[in-house]
Structure 1
Amino acid sequence: MQNGHLIVRALPYLSASGLHRDGKLVLPVNDSGGAMMDANGDHRIFFAGEEPLDERGVSLGSVEPRNLGAGEASSYMLSFKPPSGVYPGIYEKVRHYARILGDAARHKDPDVTSTPGAAFQIVEDGLPFVYRDTNTTRAGLTALNNVFRGQTVAIVGVGGTGSYILDQVAKTWVDRIILFDGDEFENHNAFRAPGAATLETLQAHRNKAEHFAEVYSRMHTGIEAHPEALTTANLDVLQDATFVFLAAADAEQRPAIMAWLRERGIGFIDVGMGLRQEGSGLTGLLRSTLYPPGSTSTLPVTPAAAPGQDDYSTNIQVADLNALNALLAVIQWKRTLGYYATHTAADETVYKLFLNELRNGDAA
């Protein structure tokens, strides 16, 4: 969406100079109660590019310049009525004109396609994304996804589990995401984090919070990186947070941080993983513990396991378990917002690796 115009990009078309793959269809639209409506109300649509031609070299449009803002403009107006005389909706209208342009282009190259993998570049007003969340509208989940609006989520530690938490939270409509991590993004991090880091990225020795903020800012806006460990000295950064994920296993001040969050009525989830190597392979537990606002469950009084006390802390590559631990935590968080229906409330979820068993219960 751009200044009241739906812009469909990367369309193939034919002009006097040959075949192109960068045509743009432009349609003025209005928002009517959350629904996108054709502002023209008829069969016209606009085109940005060179003069579009059919396979015989006849012009498909007439000159009609239109300013789209942001340095963009359309130059031509296309006017073709469908057989029924009216288009049922925006999708059908855009698809029909894309087919007209594409049919001419395919006379030049039979393999050309109007859907090379790009998505419609539409961003609903106010949503924290660089491009449109098309799956939400297709699935009819717009109203439900509004539970994420106004949320500021903090993730303390974006190592193995924390980076997968970020991967999921960045795909929701939360307004802001705050990242804390004082360590560098190194080789072992690349093997237990989502995506595939380049060798150049690893050689740059960037801070993890800054690295992941840059990566996920390609999709989600409002991501704020703090290249430092969270301590009692900088807790004020979380003052506006509505929820916090604690994924820094070696946080020395973890008990004090938890107490600070509880005093301010900020809900949080503490994730943990303990692994050990036995003759038959790795075994251990994954844990996700929820402390919602108003919870009276006992808070830990000691830091998480110190480095060296279990095999996980020696950087064993267990990306699948990191991802599972993160997903358990994110599902728990979404339940607190009412996004997922809940049969029986539980504050703690534990996965036992050896038994392949998932159990729910209450925090101590």
Structure 2
Amino acid sequence: MSQKPFSLSPDLKRLRDEGYFVQIRGGFLVMRDVPYVDTQKQVRVGTLISSLNMAGDVTQTPDTHVMHFDGDYPCGHNGAPIQQISHQSGPMVLGNGVTAQHSFSSKPEGGYPDYYQKMTTYAAILSGPAAVLKPDANARTFRVPDEEDDSIFNYTETASDRVGIGALTERLTAEKVGIIGLGGTGSYVLDFVAKTPVREIRLFDDDEFLQHNAFRSPGAASIEELREAPKKVDYLKSIYTKMHRGIATHPVALDAGHLHLLEGLTFAFLCIDAGDAKRGIIETLEALKISFVDVGMGLELVDGSLGGILRVTASTPAKRDHVHAGRIPFEGGGKDDVYASNIQVADLNCLNAVLAVIKWKKIKGFYRDLDQEHHCTYTTDGNMLLNGDLT
């Protein structure tokens, strides 16, 4: 992790300056080499782990007084467990390579004002008994960790670790995701995928980002940006590269001359409505053994209101037969559809993208998947959600 939080946050800087071995791992502040006493009255060292509450590169007031600890349960100098901080015990995989065996609770009146007070308070509770048995036992080791800025994000992602799903989020870190088509649904897919720690996001679209696109994509383009008529991939990268470092753009149509650009992907989202353009892409993805999700939207203007169906069809190396049995249309679509001319359906674009991203995360084991459906439809009239092609 970058050194910036330690230079910009007075509490973290003070911890380092006073010799505590502290580092940031994902959304956690970690203090290593903290001496404590075990039940055998032996002095050992463990690791204190706190969730981090940050605004950019600067720490905020700690969001909880609870602290995790990796080590045996700490005791007084007589070997009796320190019960006044007891909270929970049991192996915990916190994510980002961080594990713990216990959590402690010691809450001062008004809570902890900063991370210096929180970390040093717990360090003193644990190391005090150790100093009785071994006078030179001290958490202030003046050992500075080697910091590696290997995060795919430009700033610390604290949300997952704060709610205990960091280990689940790690299942996505090796992913190389392709998003084919950056119209309404594809742009929302990017919005959600860019907030996950996937290693790479490849964007494929040869169209320009024009006025109608602004009304069915996340965020709000300025009139100055629209006047420049940028490529969709470039416009969207300029937004999401502020957060995610792994975005690559390909302003091309995925025809026979460009299908090699799919090589190396681990997953793909097909978000193009022209069915005849999909065949070569899908055949290539299948040949490369790449799992994918294809999305579709069929709208109908009847009696002055819109109705229709959203579709999400998944394909994995273990199940592809349904794709060629009519689930994915390889004909039709394009500019003659009502969807292509009616731009005020950003909510349906977003919902279609949500269903697609949820399915991707289910395939990767992030979400529980009891039915393992490979085809799902949502009908606006009646709010009906149906699953099909189960495994």
Offset from partner CA, 1:124-157 (integer Å, 9 cap, x none):
8422100111111211221111101111000000
Of 162, 170, 173, which residue of structure 2 is paired with 1:146? 170
Counterpart AA for 1:187: Q
Counterpart AA for 1:324: L
Counterpart AA for 1:196: A
Q: Could you say what secondary structure the match of 2:236 adopts?
A: helix
User: For residues 27 and 178 of structure 1, what CA distance do their matches in structure 2 show?
Assistant: 40
Within-5 A mapping of 1:345-360: 345-360=372-387
**Structure 1 position 362, deviation (Å):** 1.3
User: For residues 186 and 226 of structure 1, what CA distance do their matches in structure 2 show?
Assistant: 18
Q: Could you say what secondary structure the match of 1:259 adopts?
A: helix
**Structure 1 position 93, deviation (Å):** 2.6
User: For residues 207 and 180 of structure 2, what CA distance do their matches in structure 1 show?
Assistant: 12
User: For residues 343 and 2 of structure 2, what CA distance do their matches in structure 1 show?
Assistant: 47
Aligned residue for 2:179?
A: 155
Q: Does 1:240 align with 2:241?
A: no
Offset from partner CA, 1:240-294 (integer Å, 9 cap, x none):
1000000011263311211111111100000000111010500111000000123
Structure 1 residues 92 and 3: CA distance shift in structure 2, 3 A: closer
Within-5 A mapping of 1:96-245: 125-245=149-269
Aligned residue for 2:2?
A: 2
Aligned residue for 1:324?
A: 351
User: For residues 230 and 291 of structure 2, what CA distance do their matches in structure 1 show?
Assistant: 30
Contact 1:7 1:27 in 2 (8 A): no
Of 33, 36, 44, which residue of structure 1 is paired with 2:29? 36
Q: TM-score, normalised by structure 2?
A: 0.65
**Structure 1 position 355, deviation (Å):** 2.1
Offset from partner CA, 1:14-71 (integer Å, 9 cap, x none):
xxxxxxxxx99564354599863347979xxxxxxxxxxxxxxxxxxxxxxxxxxxxx
User: For residues 89 and 304 of structure 1, what CA distance do their matches in structure 2 show?
Assistant: 62
User: For residues 162 and 26 of structure 1, what CA distance do their matches in structure 2 show?
Assistant: 45
Structure 1 residues 309 and 5: CA distance shift in structure 2, 3 A: closer
**Structure 1 position 354, deviation (Å):** 1.6
User: For residues 158 and 124 of structure 1, what CA distance do their matches in structure 2 show?
Assistant: 33
**Structure 1 position 316, deviation (Å):** 2.9
User: For residues 185 and 292 of structure 1, what CA distance do their matches in structure 2 show?
Assistant: 31
Counterpart AA for 1:292: T
Structure 1 residues 90 and 196: CA distance shift in structure 2, 3 A: same
Q: Quick check: 164-173 or 312-321, which moved more? A: 312-321
Of 368, 371, 387, which residue of structure 2 is paired with 1:344? 371
Contact 2:12 2:115 in 1 (8 A): no
Counterpart AA for 1:2: S
Contact 2:201 2:248 in 1 (8 A): yes
Q: Does 1:333 align with 2:360?
A: yes
Structure 1 residues 32 and 204: CA distance shift in structure 2, 3 A: closer
**Which structure carries more helix by proportion?**
2
User: For residues 148 and 219 of structure 2, what CA distance do their matches in structure 1 show?
Assistant: 27
List runs of 5+ in structure 2 lacking aligned partners: 36-107, 121-146
Contact 1:259 1:299 in 2 (8 A): no
Structure 1 residues 174 and 33: CA distance shift in structure 2, 3 A: closer
Counterpart AA for 1:184: E
Contact 2:177 2:268 in 1 (8 A): yes
User: For residues 92 and 24 of structure 1, what CA distance do their matches in structure 2 show?
Assistant: 6
Q: Could you say what secondary structure the match of 2:321 adopts?
A: coil
Of 275, 282, 286, which residue of structure 1 is paired with 2:299? 275
Of 332, 336, 343, which residue of structure 2 is paired with 1:305? 332
Q: Quick check: 140-149 or 217-226, which moved more? A: 140-149
Counterpart AA for 2:332: A
**Structure 1 position 187, deviation (Å):** 0.7
Contact 1:350 1:359 in 2 (8 A): yes
Counterpart AA for 1:333: W
| Residue-pair matches, total | 283
Structure 1 residues 297 and 209: CA distance shift in structure 2, 3 A: same
Structure 1 residues 6 and 94: CA distance shift in structure 2, 3 A: farther
State the Cα RMSD in Å: 3.2
Structure 1 residues 93 and 152: CA distance shift in structure 2, 3 A: same
Q: Could you say what secondary structure the match of 1:252 adopts?
A: helix
Offset from partner CA, 1:70-122 (integer Å, 9 cap, x none):
xxxxxxxxxxxxxx9xx9997253799xxxxxxxxxxxxxxxxxxxxxxxxxx
Q: Could you say what secondary structure the match of 2:362 adopts?
A: helix
Percent identity among equivalent residues? Answer: 38
Contact 2:112 2:118 in 1 (8 A): no
User: For residues 7 and 238 of structure 1, what CA distance do their matches in structure 2 show?
Assistant: 41
Structure 1 residues 227 and 90: CA distance shift in structure 2, 3 A: same
Structure 1 residues 316 and 286: CA distance shift in structure 2, 3 A: same
Offset from partner CA, 1:186-209 (integer Å, 9 cap, x none):
111000000111111111100001
Contact 2:182 2:203 in 1 (8 A): yes
Contact 2:12 2:116 in 1 (8 A): no
Q: Does 1:314 align with 2:341?
A: yes
User: For residues 231 and 275 of structure 2, what CA distance do their matches in structure 1 show?
Assistant: 17
User: For residues 27 and 187 of structure 1, what CA distance do their matches in structure 2 show?
Assistant: 51
